[in-house]
A and B are shown apart, each in its own frame.
Chain A
Amino acid sequence: MAEIILKNVTKSFGQIEVIKGVDLLIKKGEFMVFVGPSGCGKSTMLRLISGLESITTGEMTFDGEVVNNVIPSKRGVAMVFQSYALYPHMNVYNNMAFGMKLAKSGTGDIKQRVEEAAKLLQIEHLLDRLPKQLSGGQRQRVAIGRAIVRDPRVFLFDEPLSNLDAALRVATRLEIAKLHHDMGDVTMIYVTHDQVEAMTLADRICVLRDGYVEQVGTPSELYEKPDSIFVAGFIGSPKMNFLEGEFADAFDCSTLGIRSEHIDFCDENPVWQGEVVHTEDVGSDNYIFVEIGSKEPLIVRSPGRKGSVYGMKVGLKPQDQHLHRFNREGRPIR
Chain B
Amino acid sequence: MTFHNGADLPYSGLKLLGKIGDGGQGEVHAVGGPGDLLYKNYREPHKVDGSSLAALVAYRQALAAADRDRLDAETAWPLCRVLDAGTVTGFLMRRAPATTNWRTPKGDTKLIELSYLLREPKAAWQAVPQPEPDDRLGIAVALAGLFGRLHAAGLVVGDLSQANVLWTLTPEPAVFLLDCDGIRLVGRPAVLDQADTPDWHDPLAPAGTATVDSDRYKASLMIGRVLMRDPYAHPGQPMAPLSGVLDDRREAAVRSLWARAAGPYGSRPDLGQWQTALAGRETIKLIAAAPAPRPAVDRSMFDTARQRGTIQLNGRGGPGQPG
A pairs with B: no
Using CB atoms and an 8 Å cutoff, list the residues of chain B in contact with chain A. none
